[in-house]
Chain A
Amino acid sequence: MLEVKNLTAQVEGSEILKGINLTVKAGEIHAIMGPNGSGKSTLSKVIAGHPSYEVTGGSVSFDVNRKAVDLLELEPDVRAKEGVFLGFQYPVEIPGVSNVDFLREAFNEVCAHQGLEKLDDAQFKTLVREKLKLLDMDERFLDRDVNAGFSGGEKKKNEILQMALLNPRLALLDETDSGLDIDALRIVAKGVNAIKSRYNAIILVTHYQRLLDLIVPDYVHVLYKGRIIKSGDKSLALELEKKGYDWLIAEAEGKH
């Protein structure tokens, strides 16, 4: 579904990604770990199309209707409409725009693109209520402005709510777990597990094993200085939890 080949990218002249290779198939969950500054967030932003990051080489192909398309050629909103979702580490506030209007418009933009019928206000309300329940979220959430004055936990839950509504084929969750208490973490994990199917894939960027206890990954990758230095299964994350990154880094530096 997603094929990242030798991807390099820079921001303001400094190279952050130095040749990423990653293959993700439908139905898989991948965890991307690594020390701070290794390029984890950059990778997810580049896949979603953040304009501040300049791709300097490599390719990202993504299956659309069983055909591989060059994702880097698409505008960020088109990527979203084709089923790429980025859950933000720091969700942005949009004052004056009510959450429910925002969610409905976003939902209908994606529907329109995919040739699905738009929902009217009442139909959408029903759908969104269902998702709120799943995430144990208060309905009053809908009438507040997008992320404005939300607590850190509420913002993250709002990301998961958006993901649950937009039902993406590829969800990139950028440190969705950081700053969450254990109850919020459970709710987030519940949301992710609920949308997971054999048709979609999830990439989790995280620092913590505690998220991976709740969302079990098929693959774990360790990113360091813009390269994936180690890939493995879920046991790799447990090993990292015990031993930290140093042994891997030493191994990787030794190779160069």
Chain B
Amino acid sequence: MKAEEKMKEDYKYGFVTDIETEDFPKGVNEEIVRLLSARKNEPEWLLEFRLKGLRQWQKMEHPKWQYCEVPPIDFQALTYYAKPKAKKTVDSLNEIDPELLETFEKLGIPLTEQKRLMGVAVDAVFDSVSVGTTHQEDLEKVGVIFCSISEAVQKHPELVKKYLGTVVPGADNYYAALNCAVFSDGSFVYIPPGVKCPLDLSTYFRINAKDTGQFERTLIIADKGSYVNYLEGCTAPQRDENQLHAAIVELITLDDAEIKYSTVQNWFAGDKAGKGGIFNFVTKRGHCVGKNSKISWTQVEAGSAITWKYPSCVLLGENSVGSFYSVALTNHFMQADTGTKMIHVGKNTRSTIISKGISAEKSNNVYRGLVKIMPSATGARNYSQCDSMLIGDQCGAHTFPTIDVKNDSAVVEHEATTSKISADQIFYLRSRGFTQEKAVSLIVNGFCKDVFKTLPLEFSVEAVKLIEMKLENSVG
């Protein structure tokens, strides 16, 4: 096989869709933000929200505390809005550009009826806009709102206005502020009281256009006693330049509600020499507002040149529960700085953190976490387990846990291990008939089991395959 073909096999989502996008000027400033807001026909309050974000961002400096090297980014050279040129207004999926549909089919994300049989509703975001959401009718019957956030702004402004920015405010961090100013699209979910969402909801993000930043924003509200299982997947074409992805996800659970949020992130990670790849700078956070409410994050981070994200839970309601299950795999020259924050505010709040980092080749993998027990959080409990696995001797694994306890009744446990796949482990498996690759994948999958078992079946199969594929060429 030619080296080039092999490369393509390494990242099979690396193709580019040849599709026209609407022109939009490069750079970011007040004029651009106004233009963006006007293009999207947004209400005045949202323009204000954006401008506030912009002003905050302009006052901020690029953060320096991360344990990875971020090359300087020229924010004025990026385009902040890339909309596939629609041939006409899209009313139903049948009217979506066939090129786009084909792209999603190629990615294994059929937006058509097949998906319904699998019990998943999909929102597909291509570059800056949502190109189609399936099964809206089925969901509407039970009162579930699942649409692009742009549509929600038009159709359900009261909900968006009430919750947008309440979990991740613009002033939160550099990229959150930028996202507030220029977010283009994303998904919106509202589950009404007492409703268990009949379908799993899924958003699929695809960056296609060149020199474009993707700034999506997801907002999920689970009203009292409701439940939703939400899945997120991401891919991008293989390009030599780095591309920026700076998203925000906000989750809100009211009394007795539960959100399960799973991500399989496979953005293009750059090539073997470390050229290209996505900068994935994401702020994900949930507020367990109501009593007995639950938020669970599961992530499989296997792509991006640089990943920098900490899906977190603020446990406000009494007896609320937060969990974070993570597998972060880095190879080639990838850098991942990821982890979580569990902020215990309410009484008897509980949190669990299970983090598995795998580093191969010349990559760097960091777990960074904060467990904070506020004075009000009587009876709070946390259990954290952070395990790192090294493959080869040129990679790095680092752990930066912070524990801050301000209430004496809290119980906080932290366990951490670092291991190396040993030659003896591999030989043991090989002497039982497993190939080198299979042996490594068996060991790695065993290592990740506690996380994979929290994923929905379909996703967990995909995650296992993804890890196998990534490691195929990383193990000598």
Contact = CB atoms under 8 A, between A and B. Distances in A.
Given A77-B435, A106-B434, A96 B448 contact: yes
Interface string B434-446: 1110110011011
Contacts of A50: 427
Contacts of A192: none
B431 A97 contact: no
Contacts of A146: 446
Nearest to B448: A96
B76 interface: no
A170 interface: no
A77 B438 CA distance: 10
B423 A94 contact: no
Interface stretch (A18-26, A31-39, A85-93, A223-231): A85-93
B431 A96 contact: no
A79 B427 CA distance: 12
Contacts of B431: 48-49, 76-77, 79-80, 85-86, 88
Interface string B410-429: 00000000000011110111
A149 interface: no
Given A52-B423, A92-B424, A76 B446 contact: no
Contacts of A81: 433
B185 to A, nearest CB: 39
B430 A96 contact: no
B155 interface: no
A94 B424 contact: no
- By secondary structure, the B interface counts as helix
Interface in A107-155: 109-110, 113, 145-146
Contact of A97 (B427, B435, B446): B446
B450 A92 contact: no
A77 B433 contact: yes
Contact of B433 (A51, A91, A94, A110): A110
A105 B429 CA distance: 11
Contact of A105 (B424, B430, B442): B442
A166 B428 contact: no
A50 B449 CA distance: 28
A102 interface: yes
Nearest to A113: B433
B432 interface: yes
A162 interface: yes
A146 to B, nearest CB: 8
A110 B429 CA distance: 12
Contacts, number: 76
A155 B439 CA distance: 19
A95 interface: yes
Nearest to A86: B431
B430 to A, nearest CB: 4
Interface residues of A, number: 30
Interface string B302-324: 00000000000000000000000
A241 interface: no
Nearest to B443: A94
A145 B446 contact: yes
B49 interface: no
B447 interface: yes
B443 A76 contact: no
Contact of A80 (B425, B432, B436, B448): B432
Given A52-B423, A92-B424, A92-B428, A97 B433 contact: no
A97 B438 CA distance: 13
B392 to A, nearest CB: 15
A80 B424 CA distance: 16
B145 to A, nearest CB: 39
A94 B434 contact: no
B447 A96 contact: yes
A170 B428 CA distance: 17
Given A52-B423, A92-B425, A166 B445 contact: no
Contacts of A86: 431
Residue of B432, B447, B449 contacting most chain A CB atoms (<10 Å): B432
A75 interface: yes
Interface in A44-71: 48-52
B439 to A, nearest CB: 8
Nearest to A52: B423
B449 A96 contact: yes
Contacts of A51: 423, 427
A75 B66 CA distance: 43
Contacts of B442: 94, 97, 102, 105
A49 B430 contact: yes
A166 B431 CA distance: 11
B445 A80 contact: no
B267 to A, nearest CB: 27
Interface in B214-237: none
Interface in B398-413: none
Contacts of B432: 77, 80, 102, 106, 109, 162, 166
B416 to A, nearest CB: 15
A96 B428 contact: no
Nearest to B387: A95
B213 to A, nearest CB: 38
Contacts of B422: 92
Given A80-B432, A105-B434, A94 B446 contact: yes
6 contacts: A52-B427, A77-B433, A80-B432, A96-B445, A96-B448, A109-B434
Across the A-B interface, the 5 shortest Cβ-Cβ residue pairs: A96-B446, A97-B446, A109-B433, A96-B449, A92-B428
Given A48-B431, A105-B442, 17 more contacts: A75-B430, A75-B436, A76-B430, A77-B431, A79-B431, A80-B432, A92-B425, A92-B428, A94-B429, A94-B442, A95-B447, A96-B445, A97-B445, A102-B442, A106-B432, A109-B432, A110-B433
Interface of B: 422-425, 427-436, 438-439, 442-443, 445-450
